[in-house]
Amino acid sequence: DAGVTQSPTHLIKTRGQQVTLRCSPKSGHDTVSWYQQALGQGPQFIFQYYEEEERQRGNFPDRFSGHQFPNYSSELNVNALLLGDSALYLCASSSREKWGQPQHFGDGTRLSIL
Amino acid sequence: TQLLEQSPQFLSIQEGENLTVYCNSSSVFSSLQWYRQEPGEGPVLLVTVVTGGEVKKLKRLTFQFGDARKDSSLHITAAQPGDTGLYLCAGARETSGSRLTFGEGTQLTVNP
């Protein structure tokens, strides 16, 4: 039973570019959440998707957008990259019907902006 | 705004010592989770506490949820080098679905 998988594991971009990160949730999970974790800090909630729609959003600008596909996988897109976007981007999956059950995290994508 | 404050931020101790990490908030959470994260990996769930006053034990780790469900603590007895890592507390509210609010983490180093 595969857990949450994220790709790529590492990515280097330059300022102004655009990036797409991908996430496949754990089998049986239908909800995907994205978090940004800056170095030395706790993860910050970006947004959450289920039923292919954004359901909740944290305090992030519109440069951050996402998508969820019918197979529950998800993408995180960031436009006009800034140096401050350098971080570990974590995807977490859960089941909407089983609130209170723990979220499962992937190992993240380390994004470096030069 | 960081709704969950963890302390201490850094902790370096010798093998065999005991330690406590605190997670405090002015807000009530429906549940609180503790994670451990190692470099290059995602957070791994250690425990979830949901009832005010609840105490859970996981081998040498003891977790407590405050009576008012605003704070929590993690106590490690006889720490070992393998306990080294970033410990994160995260709160959830039933009204916010599965969205988690994380503390800033406690970086624990256990020296042999």
A53-92 pLDDT tens trace: 999 999 999 999 999 999 999 999 999 999 999 999 999 9
- The mean pLDDT of A21-36, rounded to a whole number, is 95
Chain B interface mutation, best of A9, A30, A31, A41, highest count of B Cβ atoms under 10 Å: A41
Show contacts of B61-65: CB within 8 Å, 24+ apart: B63/B34, B65/B32
pLDDT band at A32, cuts 50/70/90? very high
Nearest to A108 by CA among A41, A2, A11: A11
pLDDT of res. A99: 64
pLDDT of res. B93: 85
Query: Cβ B97–A92 below 8 Å, yes or no?
Result: no
Query: Cβ A33–B96 below 8 Å, yes or no?
Result: no
Q: Which residue in B2, B97, B100 is closest to A55 by CB distance?
A: B97
Count of residues making up chain B:
112
pLDDT of res. B65: 96
CB atoms under 10 Å from CB of B24, counted, come to 16
A34, closest residue in chain B (CA to CA): B99
Whether the pLDDT of residue A102 is over 80: the answer is no
Whether the pLDDT of residue A2 is over 80: the answer is no
pLDDT of res. B96: 73
B38, closest residue in chain A (CA to CA): A107
Q: Report the C-alpha gap between B81 and B26 in whole angstroms.
A: 33
The residues of A whose Cβ lies within 8 A of any Cβ of B are 4, 31, 33, 35, 40-45, 48, 55-56, 58, 90, 92, 94, 96, 99-100, 102-108, 110
Average pLDDT, rounded, for chain A:
93
The dihedrals phi and psi of A36, each to the nearest 5 degrees, come to: -110, 130
CA dihedral A6, B36, A96, A72 (to 10 degrees): 0
Task: Print pLDDT tens along chain B (112 aa).
Answer: 458 999 999 999 999 999 999 999 999 998 899 999 998 899 999 999 999 999 999 999 999 999 999 999 999 999 999 999 999 999 988 777 778 999 999 999 999 9
CB atoms under 10 Å from CB of A86, counted, come to 17
- The mean pLDDT of A84-105, rounded to a whole number, is 86
Enumerate the residues of chain A whose CB falls inside 8 A of the CB of residue B44.
105
pLDDT band at A1, cuts 50/70/90? low
pLDDT of res. B109: 97
Token reading at B72: 């929590």
Enumerate the residues of chain A whose CB falls inside 8 A of the CB of residue B92.
100
Query: Cβ A43–B94 below 8 Å, yes or no?
Result: no
Query: Cβ A92–B101 below 8 Å, yes or no?
Result: no
pLDDT of res. A97: 73
